Amino acid sequence: MLRFFILFVVLLAVLFGLELTPWAQDWFVVPWTTALAHLSTSIVTLFDGSVVSAGKIMRSTTNGFAVSIEAGCNGVEATLVLLAAMLAFPAPWKHKFLGLVIGIVAVQLLNILRVISLFYLGQWNYDVFEWAHLYVWQALIMLDVLVVWLIWVRRVPRIDDAGIPPGAPPALAAG
Amino acid sequence: MSEGDFREQPSGRTALPFLKSPLTRFVAAAVAWLPVTFGAWYLLAPILLWPVRLLVQLVARFGFGDLVRGIDPGGSTLSFITTLKPGEGVAAGVVSVDVNMLVYAFGMPFFAALTLAAREGRWWRTLALGYAVIVPFVAWGVLADFLKGIAIAAPPAIASQTNFTQWQRELIAFAYQFGSLILPAVVPAVLWVLLHRAFLERLRARGSG
C-alpha cells in the first residue's frame, strides 16, 4: 500500500504539472473542453433547442444565461486522478488499459451530467448553482472516480509489490 | 442509515436485489450520507474551520509577516489585510483579499460520508483522524488562494510590491492550482482508502471470489 501511495502521489503531481504546461493546454485541455461544451450542448438540444455553444461556453438564447467550462469542471483533473490511481496500483497492463478506457468514459459521462445540471441549476437559482458547483459536484465526481477504481481493483488479479502474481512458479518468482 | 436497510429477506434475497453487492451498498450509503454530512458541515463550519483559521494565521504571521497585517474572520471567509498599497497616487488604504474557506474544505463532509458508509468499527476515531489530516490541506488552499490574489491576480502595481521572483510566482500558481483542483477532493478519497484497508481487502476478496 505504501508503494502504491507514493507512486500515486508522484504520478499525480507529474501528470498535473504536465497538464498545466502551455503545450498540454493548447493541444489537449482547450480542445477537450471545447468538445465537452459542444457535446453537452448537443445532448441538451435534444429537449431544449434554445442552447448554443461557442468554444467552452454554453449559452441559453432564451435568457442569455451562460456557463463557461473552466479547469476543474472539464473532468480532466478527475481523469488524471484515475489515471494515476490505476497506473500506481499493481496490476497487469492489459487490465490497466481496459480499466482506464472504461473508467475515463464513466467519469466523463458523469461530468457531462454535471455540466448540464449546472447549466439549468444556474438558470433556476444561483445559490443552489454555487453550492452544487463548488461543493456537491466536486465530491460526486471524486466519488465516481473512487467507485470506478474500487470496481477495477476488485476485478484485477492480485500481484504483489514486486509485480509477481501469487501462485507463480518458483522460477518466475525467483527471477 | 442502518444495517436494517440492507437486511436480507428470509428467502436469501435482499429487498432490493441490486443492493446485494457490498460495493453497491457502500455507494448507496455514501450517496445517502452526503446530504447529511454536507448539511452538518455547513452548519458547523465556523467551528470546523476554526483550526484552519488558526493555522493560516500562524503561517501568515511567521511566513508572510511582511505582507499580512492581519486576518479578519467573517464566518467561513477570511479577509487578509495586507501591507500592500492600492497603487501609486493613492494616499490611503490597503489591499485586502477575501478567501472563502469552504471552497477548500468540502473534503470534510465527503470524507465523513465515505467513512460512515463503510460502517467500520471505531468510525468516530477515523472521522477525527481524517479531520485532523484534512485541516492542513484546507489551510494550504486558503493560503495559496491569498498568495495568488496578491502575486498573480492583482494589478501589476500591487503585485510588484510583493517582490516575488518569477519562479516564486510559478510556484504560487502551481500551489494554488494543486490546492484548489486536486487536493480538496483527492485528499479525503486517498485518506479514506488508507484508513479502510481492511474494508478494501474484504471488498476485493468478494470481488475475486
Q: Which of A146, A147, A159, A160 to mutate to test the interface with B (most CBs of B within 10 A)?
A: A146
CB B68 within 8 A of CB B162: no
In order along its 209 residues, chain B shows pLDDT tens digits of 443 343 344 444 455 566 678 889 999 999 999 999 999 999 999 999 999 999 999 999 999 888 999 999 888 999 999 999 887 665 667 899 999 999 999 999 999 999 999 988 889 999 999 999 999 999 999 999 999 999 999 998 889 888 899 999 999 999 999 999 999 999 999 999 999 999 988 887 766 54
Rounded to the nearest angstrom, the minimum Cα separation between A42 and chain B is 27
CA-nearest of B3, B31, B199, B44 to B110 is B31
What whole-number distance in Å separates Cα of residue A124 and Cα of residue A101?
Answer: 35
Give the DSSP letter string of A146-167: HHHHHHHHHHSPP--TTS--TT
Return d(Cα A105, Cα A90) in angstroms, integer.
Answer: 22
CA–CA separation, A44 and A118 (whole Å): 12
CB contact under 8 A, B200 and A153: yes
Suggest the residue from B181, B183, B191, B195 to mutate for an interface test with chain A (most A CBs closer than 10 A).
B181
User: Count of A–B CB contacts within 8 Å?
Assistant: 89
Contacts with B114 (C-beta within 8 Å, 6 or more apart), sequence order: A143, A146, B30, B188, B189, B192, B196
What's the complex ipTM?
Answer: 0.87
Angle, nearest 10°, between helix axes A93-124 and A76-88?
160
Whether B56 and chain A come into contact, CB under 8 Å, resolves to no
B121, B202 Cβ separation under 8 angstroms? no
| Helices (H) then strands (E): counts for chain B | 10, 3
Contact A142 B180 (CB under 8 A): no
pTM over cut 0.90: no
Q: Could you tell me how far CA A40 lies from the centroid of its own chain?
A: 15
Q: B residues 96-155 near A, CB within 8 Å? A: 102-103, 106-107, 109-110, 113-114
Closest Cβ–Cβ partner in B186, B203, B208 for A150: B203
